[in-house]
Chains A and B, each alone.
Chain A
Amino acid sequence: NAGVTQTPKFRILKIGQSMTLQCTQDMNHNYMYWYRQDPGMGLKLIYYSVGAGITDKGEVPNGYNVSRSTTEDFPLRLELAAPSQTSVYFCASSWRETEAFFGQGTRLTVV
């Protein structure tokens, strides 16, 4: 099993550009999450999904969008990138109350 796979690992965007961060899990988990990690700030929840077709905002959703058309995939879309979106992004998945499994992260720089 691959677990949670994120692509790309690194990306540099120019201000105003858009991109999609891909996330796939092969554990048939119903819950999926997107977090961003900034130094000293821990992980902040951007969006989450409790099943295919169901998504909801987390703590810091502005500037992002998500969709969940299948159990396996949970892409994160950045529209009109801004320097404040420079961060490390982690996708994770879990069964309801059990531990989350994390991808290796995407390091995004907006210049």
Chain B
Amino acid sequence: AQSVTQLDSQVPVFEEAPVELRCNYSSSVSVYLFWYVQYPNQGLQLLLKYLSGSTLVESINGFEAEFNKSQTSFHLRKPSVHISDTAEYFCAVSSSGGSYIPTFGRGTSLIVHP
């Protein structure tokens, strides 16, 4: 079985400050990890993914996440946030143990204040 825990339901931060959204997973086999972003009244969009190779992955809009196998974590970071980053962020895991079906965390609401 696989599962995902997002440790913070809400993260308030001021504009231009750094932010970290935490994600821990559990799985007994090799995993594929994803971060999705959801803007109000929209579907989820992929932000970044780890499938294999380098453990540090980046998005085009400045987010990055690091796959840490020993800590079973995949935390999302951004060194300087913008108002437009305000959204819901979901961490997801898939694995052969879960038939490659993605399991999602409960989401973290990032609120960026001016």
Q: Using a CB–CB distance below 8 Å, which chain A residues touch chain B? A: 4, 31, 33, 35, 40-43, 45, 48, 50, 58, 90, 92, 94, 96-105
Q: Using a CB–CB distance below 8 Å, which chain B residues touch chain A? A: 6, 9, 32, 34, 36, 41-46, 49, 51, 90, 92, 94, 99-107
Q: How far is the CA of A105 from the CA of B40 in the complex (A)?
A: 11
Contacts of A90 in B (CB 8 A): 43-44
Q: Other than the known A4-B43, A31-B100, what 11 A-B pairs have Cβ atoms closer than 8 Å?
A: A31-B101, A35-B104, A40-B9, A42-B90, A42-B106, A43-B104, A45-B101, A96-B100, A100-B44, A100-B46, A100-B92
B94 in contact with A97 (CB, 8 Å): yes
Q: How far is the CA of A96 from the CA of B34 in the complex (A)?
A: 14
A43 (CB) vs chain B CBs: closest residue: B104
Q: How far is the CA of A40 from the CA of B107 in the complex (A)?
A: 7
A99 in contact with B106 (CB, 8 Å): no
Contacts of B100 in A (CB 8 A): 31, 96-97
Closest approach, in angstroms, between the C-beta of B11 and any C-beta of chain A? 14
Answer whether A102 and B9 are a contact pair too, CB < 8 Å, given A42-B107, A96-B100: no
Q: How far is the CA of A6 from the CA of B107 in the complex (A)?
A: 22
Q: How far is the CA of A28 from the CA of B56 in the complex (A)?
A: 30
Partner among A41, A101, A105 whose Cβ is within 8 Å of the Cβ of B106: A41
Can you list 24 A-B pairs, Cβ within 8 angstroms, ordered by A?
A4-B43, A31-B100, A33-B101, A35-B104, A40-B106, A41-B106, A42-B6, A43-B44, A43-B90, A43-B104, A45-B103, A58-B101, A90-B44, A92-B44, A94-B102, A97-B32, A97-B100, A98-B49, A99-B34, A99-B46, A100-B46, A100-B92, A101-B46, A104-B42
A100 in contact with B43 (CB, 8 Å): no
Q: How far is the CA of A4 from the CA of B34 in the complex (A)?
A: 19
